[in-house]
Structure 1
Amino acid sequence: MPQYKKSHIYRAVEFAPIWVVLAIGRILPFWLRGKMFGLLGELIVMYLPKAKKRVHRGLITVFPGLSKKEINSITKKVGCNTALTLSELLMNDDYKKRKKLISADGEGFETLKEAKSNGQGAIIVSAHFGQWEAIRHHLAENNMETGAVYRKNNNPFYERLFLKSIKYGGLPIIARGGKGNINMIRHLKKGGFFALLVDQDSHSGKQIKFLGQDARTTTAPAEMALRYDLPLVPVFAVRQANGQNIKLEYEEAIIHTDAITMTNEINDRISARIQKNPEQWYWLHNRWNKE
């Protein structure tokens, strides 16, 4: 059998469990679907050694005073929130209809409305925290459709599903790097909005403190905001205790100074949110590149 066919079959088998659980999820009521995915996420993160180890390592690094019981409790909640968010994201056509679950507050929202009314582009920065996709849904609902950047997946079946799903949150959707960056800049210069999740390790980034630890961090959002005179607004989507409602916090825009100072401020804002609700951040990222 040719190698490419083996690879294609392997990817299909790899994707099959995801397809099955999503198919089951679609026939369940929204509240029950959330319970199912939350429990599934808890089980995966607690019983998949690599996932558990990575979450524990991050928590111990940032919160050295936590007891083993506290670490395990947060880890379970991380798995729950991650699975909930991913399921909502992969069924974004359905999640788009759940507008009543999303509320918002903060002066950053007025900053974005003003930019929109003036035909000015804007950059929204956030993290893999809470239900980050709710940000774009809320902006679209308020006539501020917002594009996003994503990383292509090696699995073609997952790639097609993921790309189709995130388009329900707003357009344009561009792949990270190269031509995608050029298209993003063009969109911003024409008055468009883009949301960027800036909490991952960046190979070309600067060493900037993140949760008290040096971390390679992209300065691109700050550089674009300065170069094209765009508001740079941090927004965070905090999942509420019932697991369904989302409270968006539109924070004060980052003051334009220089790229390093502004990126430090972004990291400080993200860190403050994570310290307040550590269970809502995606600790499965290898944020400090220690592996």
Structure 2
Amino acid sequence: MQHSSPFRLDLWLQDRALRGLIRLLLWLPYRVRVPLCGWMMAQLIAPLAGYRRRVRKNLARVMPDLPPDEVRRLCRAVPDNVGRTIIELYSGAEFVAVARKTPPRGPGLAALDAAHRANRPVILVTGHFGNYDASRAALLGRGFRVGGLYRPMKNHWFNDHYVAAISRIGTPLFARGKRGLAGMVRFLRGGGMLGMVIDQHMRRGTRLRFFGHDALTALSAAELALKYDALLVPTYAIRQPDGLSFDIVVEAPIPQDTPEAMTQALNDSLEVLVRDHMDQWFWIHRRWKAPPL
């Protein structure tokens, strides 16, 4: 793919290193490569990249009373889950088979079945939790038409093969912004289910609460649901104790309200889940960057 942005040697070298590591890992059996990538991220990459420091900083902000032993555990366990997620997304059919092994469950599943029969659009919302693409893979396996909205990465070399990788999990995919807007709207109007991840800091987002602190959050999922009369449904893939399989949960649809109230309900839904599985959320994100009032 051609790109108009100027050449940056640091990003190109970063991409070459990541490509080489991913290729090496993909030579290994799935049950070996996934935990190995988790270990490498936790023990080798996280200390160099400052991920442990960021995990500590985020936990100190929102859960200052967390016991020190638990903080130390999360500084290792969170990057481990991130590493597992990355190599799973590059594992194509092997990852899809694992994600579809256990049928989805939850109070929202009947609503998805009904929407599918009625050709009614659905906005599926998840967070950077467990493996955020396992729900999409599992619901595609159930016969639903599930597309994905993704946020293009700053490193366009890495972005190109990342998008190719997640395309092997399922299509269609739509880039956030003007480039993917027209296709995304057609997909929703045709009764598709659009998967979105909304738990990252958005500079132009709305100040909502997450773990008791202000977090700038995009209202786009709720706004799309209201505009196209789509169901707004939280769904999550909870990594199981074996480190490989998932429990795919589909929660009840969020009732229609203001975009702010609906998005706060999504934040609250994710927070409940994260509190139950602290090591599965991406605490390495700079989630709380809202400027003071």
The CA distance in 1 between the partners of 2:228 and 2:86, in whole Å, is: 33
The residue aligned with 2:172 is 172
Q: Does 1:242 align with 2:270?
A: no
The residue aligned with 1:132 is 132
The answer to whether the Cα contact below 8 Å between 1:101 and 1:244 also exists between their aligned partners in 2 is no
The CA distance in 1 between the partners of 2:250 and 2:75, in whole Å, is: 27
The CA distance in 2 between the partners of 1:48 and 1:274, in whole Å, is: 25
The CA distance in 1 between the partners of 2:171 and 2:177, in whole Å, is: 17
The CA distance in 2 between the partners of 1:92 and 1:15, in whole Å, is: 20
Greater Cα shift, 232-241 or 35-44: 35-44
Question: Which ranges of structure 2 fall in alignment gaps of 5 or more residues?
Answer: none
The CA distance in 1 between the partners of 2:44 and 2:60, in whole Å, is: 20
Q: Does 1:153 align with 2:153?
A: yes
Q: Secondary structure at the match of 2:134?
A: helix
- How far off is 1:77 after superposition? 0.5
- How far off is 1:99 after superposition? 4.4
Residue identity in the other structure for 2:253: A
> Residues 143-187 of structure 1, C-alpha deviation per residue, up to 9 Å, x if partnerless?
113111112223343122111111122222111112423332221
Q: Secondary structure at the match of 1:247?
A: strand
The answer to whether the Cα contact below 8 Å between 2:99 and 2:245 also exists between their aligned partners in 1 is no
Greater Cα shift, 260-269 or 173-182: 173-182
- How far off is 1:128 after superposition? 0.5
The CA distance in 2 between the partners of 1:68 and 1:13, in whole Å, is: 37
1:1-291 correspondence to structure 2 within 5 Å: 7=7, 10-44=10-44, 46-48=46-48, 50-99=50-99, 101-289=101-289
Residue identity in the other structure for 1:200: Q
The answer to whether the Cα contact below 8 Å between 1:125 and 1:235 also exists between their aligned partners in 2 is yes
> Residues 28-48 of structure 1, C-alpha deviation per residue, up to 9 Å, x if partnerless?
111111221111111146522
Say how many residue pairs are matched: 288
Q: Secondary structure at the match of 2:131?
A: coil
Change (3 A) 1:99 1:270: closer
The CA distance in 2 between the partners of 1:176 and 1:117, in whole Å, is: 28
- How far off is 1:68 after superposition? 2.4
TM-score when normalising by structure 2 = 0.92
Greater Cα shift, 172-181 or 204-213: 172-181
Greater Cα shift, 173-182 or 114-123: 173-182
Q: Secondary structure at the match of 2:104?
A: strand
The CA distance in 2 between the partners of 1:99 and 1:147, in whole Å, is: 16
Residue identity in the other structure for 2:266: I
- How far off is 1:54 after superposition? 1.1
The CA distance in 2 between the partners of 1:260 and 1:100, in whole Å, is: 33
- How far off is 1:51 after superposition? 1.6
- How far off is 1:100 after superposition? 5.0
Q: Secondary structure at the match of 1:7?
A: coil
Change (3 A) 1:167 1:46: closer
Change (3 A) 1:238 1:39: same
Change (3 A) 1:102 1:87: farther
Change (3 A) 1:192 1:100: closer
Greater Cα shift, 180-189 or 52-61: 180-189
Change (3 A) 1:286 1:8: closer
Residue identity in the other structure for 2:169: G
The answer to whether the Cα contact below 8 Å between 1:93 and 1:165 also exists between their aligned partners in 2 is no
The answer to whether the Cα contact below 8 Å between 2:104 and 2:248 also exists between their aligned partners in 1 is yes
Change (3 A) 1:19 1:84: same
Q: Secondary structure at the match of 1:187?
A: helix
The CA distance in 2 between the partners of 1:224 and 1:100, in whole Å, is: 28
The CA distance in 1 between the partners of 2:61 and 2:45, in whole Å, is: 18
Structure 1 outlier segments of 4+, above 6 Å:
none
- How far off is 1:280 after superposition? 0.3
- How far off is 1:239 after superposition? 0.1
- Aligned CA-pair RMSD: 2.1
